[in-house]
Amino acid sequence: MNAMSNGRFGIHGGQYIPETLMNAVIELEAAYNRYKNDPDFNRELTYLFNEYAGRPSRLYYAEKMTRDLGGAKIYLKREDLNHTGAHKINNVLGQALLAKKMGKTRLIAETGAGQHGVATATAAALMGMQCVVFMGEEDTKRQALNVYRMRLLGAEVVPVTTGTATLKDAVSEAMREWTRRIDDTHYCLGSVMGPHPFPTIVRDFQAVISREIKQQLMEKEGRLPDAVIACVGGGSNAIGSFYHFIPEKSVRLIGCEAAGRGVDTFETAATIATGRLGIFHGMKSYFCQDEYGQIAPVYSISAGLDYPGVGPEHAWLHDTGRAEYVPITDDEAVDAFEYLARTEGIIPAIESAHAVAYAQKLAPTMGKDQIVVITISGRGDKDCAAIARYRGEDIHE
Amino acid sequence: MSNIASAFASGKAFIPFITCGDPDLETTAACVRACVANGAGLIELGIPFSDPTAEGPVIQAANLRALTGGVTTDRIFGLVRDLRRDVAVPMVFMTYANVVFSYGVERFISTCRDIGIDGLILPDLPFEEKGEFLPLCRQYGVDLISLVAPTSADRIAMIAREAEGFLYIVSSLGVTGTRSEITTDLASIVKVVRANTSIPCAIGFGISTPEQAAKMASYSDGAIVGSAIIKLLAQYGKDAPEHVGAYVRTMTEALS
C-alpha cells in the first residue's frame, strides 16, 4: 500500500516552502533516489546501524507487566538501548551519510527534547561534519543535560526565543537558517514531517524498527502482533514501528498523542484529537490552530511531543482508518513512566511513556493469546529531574 | 490587463510593506495613506501569521505585535474596505498559505476581489503547489504573485513564464531583513526573467537605503522594502505614519 505520489499521502504532504529552498529539496530527493537502493550505501548504513548504534534493538518480553495487566502478552521494542538512547539515531545516521555523499559538510537540526539534537551532534562528530542545533529556549531549560551533551559532542546549540520557544519555533528557525546557507548545509530534519522528501526519507530510515519487530516476533512467537503502540509527536518512531505492518490488516496500529492537561483544555498537543487540516512547516496535514489559521501554542510535559502538527503519513493513516490515534494526558504518562520503572526496571522516555500508558489500558481488554508491541522510543534518564519536579520533589541535575 | 501593471506604468515603482495591525489598524491605515501621498506605487499589506518562517526578526516581531493587539483576517478585510474609499494604488496581500487555506481559499480570494485587493503573495507556496490557489485567483481576478530566488537557477524561466501581476525577485539568501550589501548577480536573473515574461519585476529582501533602492530598480522595475519600514513602526508606534511618509519620500525620490 503506497498512496504516495509527488510527495503526497492522500491529500497530505507536499512542498510548502519558500522558493529559495526548492532546488535544495529537489537535489535532496534526487540524491535519495540515487542512493536508497545503492548496495554500497546500504552496506555502509547497515554497518553503522549494527556496529555503531547497536542494532538490532531488543524485542523484550515484559513478563511482569504482562502478568500484572492480566491480558495480552506485552513486548517492548527497546529503541532506548540504541546508542544515544533513542530511535533518533536511525534517521540521523541515514541522513548524515546521505548528506556526506551529497558533498555537504555541515548539518543543522531542530530538537525538542534534545534527543534528535544529540543524535545529530553524534553523527556529525562521527563523520567529521560541523553541526548547529536549534532548540527552543524553554526546552534548553527542561533538557539542560542534553544541551551539555550536544556541546560536548562539538555542536553549537542555538537557543530559540521566538514564539513559544519550543519545538515548532526550533523547526522554524532551522528552516530560516537553511534558507541562509544551503550550499554546504544539510537540514537533518528529525521527524516524518516538513516538505517532501523528508517525510519519506525519515520514514524509510526509521522503518528498520518495524522490520526488526516483524522478524523478531516471528522468531519468538511465529506470528504477527495484534497491536503495535507508539507515541506520536511528529511521528517518526511511530511510523517506523508501523511501516512494515501497514499491509498486515490484522495488526492494529495505535499512535499515542500528548494530550497535556487534557484535550478539552488549551494546554494540549494532541493534533489529531484537536487539530484541523492546514499548511505549515512545508506540509499539508493536521495542525492545532485557531479559527484564522494561527498556529496554537501547544503544551505537553514531554518536550519531544510538544509540537502542533503531525507528519502527513499519519494524517493519511488517520483519514483511511488504518491507524488509530489516542490522546494521553501528562498525568497518565507520568504514571506510566513510574509504572514501567517499578514493574520492569526500565525507565522510558516521557514520550515513550505515553505509549506505555495506552498499553496499560488496552492490554487488560485483550486475550492472553494476543500480543501487543510497545515501542520504547527512548530512555528516560533525561526526564528524571522534570518528573521529580512534577511530583513536587526538587532535585538538581 | 492587471491593475498591478498600473503601478509600473509611469516609471520605477517603490513598494512598501506594512504588517497590518502593527501596532493597530488605525496606524496601518495612516501609514498606507502616508506611503501613497509620498509616491508609493503599490502597497504590500502583510496579514500577520503566528509562525512566519520566511521573515527575519524585525518582521517576526511585527507579526507578534499585531497578533497580540488582536488583529484578525476579517478585521484586515475591513481595513482594506476603508482604505479603498480614497486609496487608488494597487494593493496586494502578503501572508502565509495557512492563513488563506484556513479561511477557505475561495472565500478568501473572492473577498480579496470584493474589497479591492489586486494580488496575493504567499512565500510558502512555490510553483509546484500553486494548483490549489491559482484557478481561484484567476476566477476572481486576483494575481497570484510568483517569487524567484538566488537559488532558483534553472527554475527561473518556468516560474517567469507563468507569473502574473509582477514577479517578485528575492535579492538574497535567507529571510527578510536589512542587509548592508546585496551580492547576488541580479542582472543575470532579470535577463532570464525578461526573456520569459513581459510582466514587471521588482526586487525585495535586504533593501533599506535610497542608494540600494536605486541600484535594485536599475536592474528591474521596482524595489520592495519591508523591514526598514517596520523598524520605524517598532520605534515610533502610533506616531510612525509621518516618519514612514518621510522615509518613503526619500525612497521614491531615489527612484524617480
Q: Tell me the CATH architecture of domain A56-85+207-390.
A: 3-Layer(aba) Sandwich (3.40)
Round to whole Å and give the CA distance between B73 and A39.
53
Q: Quick check: A116 and A110 in contact, CB under 8 A?
A: yes
Which is the catalytic residue, given A73, A88, A104, A284? Answer: A88
Which ranges constitute the DSSP H helices of B177-226? Answer: 186-196, 210-219
Q: How far is A301 from chain B (nearest CA, A)?
A: 22
- Per the omega criterion (within 30 degrees of 0), is the bond before B200 cis? no
Per-residue confidence (pLDDT) for residue A128, from 0 to 100: 98
* Contact yes or no for A283/A193 (Cβ under 8 A): yes
Domains of chain A, by residue range, sit at 18-49+88-202, 56-85+207-390
Q: What ranges make up the beta strands (E) of A123-251?
A: 130-136, 156-160, 185-187, 227-232
pLDDT digits (tens, 9 = 90+) for A201-215: 999 999 999 999 999
Q: Burial level of A273, CB count in 10 A (0-12/13-18/19+)?
A: middle
> Which residue type sits at A375?
T
Inter-chain contact A182–B128, Cβ cutoff 8 Å?
Answer: no
pLDDT the model gives residue A1: 35
Name the closest residue on chain B to residue A173, using Cα atoms. Answer: B53
| Residues B98, A278: C-beta atoms closer than 8 Å | yes
Give me the amino acid identity at A357. A
DSSP string, A172-199: HHHHHHHHH--TTEEE---SS-SSTTHH
A18-49+88-202 and A56-85+207-390 share one fold: yes
Least confident of A64-68, A226-230, A392-396, B208-212: A392-396
A64 is catalytic: no
Average the pLDDT over B149-178 and give the result.
Answer: 95
Question: What pLDDT score does A169 carry?
Answer: 94
For B107-158, how does the pLDDT look when each residue is reduced to its tens digit (9 = 90+)?
A: 999 999 999 999 999 999 999 999 999 999 999 999 999 999 999 999 999 9
> What are the beta bridge partners of residue A279?
A284
CA distance A135 to A150: 11
Q: Cβ separation of B50 and A14 shorter than 8 Å?
A: no
Interface contact flag, A19 B101, Cβ < 8 Å? no
Cβ contact (<8 Å) for B174 and A24? no
C-beta separation of B49 from A294 below 8 A: yes
Contact B195, B157 (CB under 8 A): yes
Mean confidence (pLDDT) of chain A: 95
* Partners of residue A291 in chain B, C-beta under 8 Å: 102
Instruction: Tell me the per-residue pLDDT of A281-290, one tens digit each, with 9 for 90 and over.
Output: 999 999 999 9
Catalytic residue among A29, A79, A110, A351: A110
User: What per-residue confidence (pLDDT) applies to A3?
Assistant: 41
**Annotated catalytic residue A377:** yes
Q: Which CATH topology does A18-49+88-202 take?
A: Rossmann fold (3.40.50)
What are the CA-CA distances from residue B69 to residues A300, B23, B25, B72, B207 (Å)?
A: 26, 7, 9, 9, 28
User: Please, which residues bridge with residue A186 across strands?
Assistant: A107
pLDDT of residue A5: 53
* d(C-alpha B87, C-alpha B84), whole Å: 5
Pick the CATH number of B3-250 from 3.30.70.60, 3.30.390.10, 3.20.20.70, 2.40.160.40: 3.20.20.70
Query: Element (H or E) spanning A64, and its range?
Result: helix A63-69
Q: Is A173 a catalytic residue?
A: no
How far apart are alpha carbons B58 and B235 in whole angstroms? 11
User: Is the separation of the CB atoms in A348 and A228 below 8 Å?
Assistant: no
| Euclidean distance between CA atoms B42 and A252, whole angstroms | 56
For residues A211 and B2, what is the distance between their CA atoms, to the nearest angstrom?
56
pLDDT > 50? residue A4: no
Residues of B with CB under 8 A from a CB of A: 49-51, 53-54, 56-57, 60, 67, 72-74, 96-103, 123-129, 147-155, 159, 170, 173-175
Q: Could you tell me the pLDDT band of residue B1, with boundaries at 50, 70 and 90?
A: low
ipTM value: 0.97
Least confident piece of the model among A116-130, A297-311, A367-381, B200-214? A297-311
DSSP A85: G
* CA end-to-end distance (rounded Å), chain A: 47
Nearest CA in chain A to B64: A163
